[in-house]
Structure 1
Amino acid sequence: MSAPVMGSTKKPFNDGDQHNHKKKKGAGALATAYLVIYNVIMTAGWLVIAVGLVRAYLTRGSYHGLYYSIEKPLKFFQTGALLEILHCAVGIVPSSVVLTGFQVMSRVFLTWAVTHSVREVQSEDSVLLFVVAWTVTEIIRYSFYTFSLLNHLPYLIKWASS
């Protein structure tokens, strides 16, 4: 966290916090409404992926090959995170474009350049591990952002995100 300059009224914020959704100067009701909609859609998308994983596991009775049951929504919603770089670039979230870019692009790279492009990787257990980790993380993260923007953060979401 950076410290405010002596004599200034500028409040510090954590550059490493990808989405500190406290409104930046100039980001108004329209930006907040857009961010709420974006975060609700992303939460719903990751919930779809979670349900797809559970349904496929219950149907197959095994975790092998579950990637194929969630491949399309995973690609769509992981790629949709590219908008987060734009959010930083235009200033509607006070996060570093570079840090957010690295975070998002590493996942997009793993999704498209590795998992999509190398067929053999798709049936590996490691794919299931990172997809499950992403799914749990993203449901909590996007829920946290949504409720924070609405100034109504349930204790469970706050606890899960800390």
Structure 2
Amino acid sequence: MKLYGVVGWKNAGKTGLMERLVTEITGRGVTVSTVKHAHHSFDVDHPGKDSHRHRVAGATEVLLASRNRFALMHELRDEDEPTLDTLLSKLAPVDLVLIEGYKRDAHPKVEAHRSVTGNPLIAPNDPTVRAVASDTHLDLDRPVFDLDDTKAIADFILSETDL
């Protein structure tokens, strides 16, 4: 599996770019999975549902399945947050895994940047950021794409990953 990340500060356009990239790249016949890092607590389960009751009762893992999809929930009761490599090992094989977040990991990345946020660029101090997708002109030592030019960004990622 090839890996490519999308990083950036809050409100930089990461999720929208990820969504557009998945649509564009899968539309070309490339299989894609995604990994999204959340800095906050989240839950895909709801109180009162059977799966929630299983977790609250103490189950380490609850696998919820239907004929359309399945979800495996693993409780990190006294465990550290798993590394990206650990999480990637749980994915079924695909051509490309797009990773949102995990900006400190070593895989290649595109940085999403919106000037209105006022945040500094990550790219100048991070050689793993191979290109920037921005809503403003930037003078950098690596490619800069228009944040909305999904096709060009997808072309770049697929070229970088030999897909």
> Scaled by the length of structure 2, what TM-score is found?
0.26
More strand per residue: 1 or 2? 2
Which has more helix, going by share of residues? 1
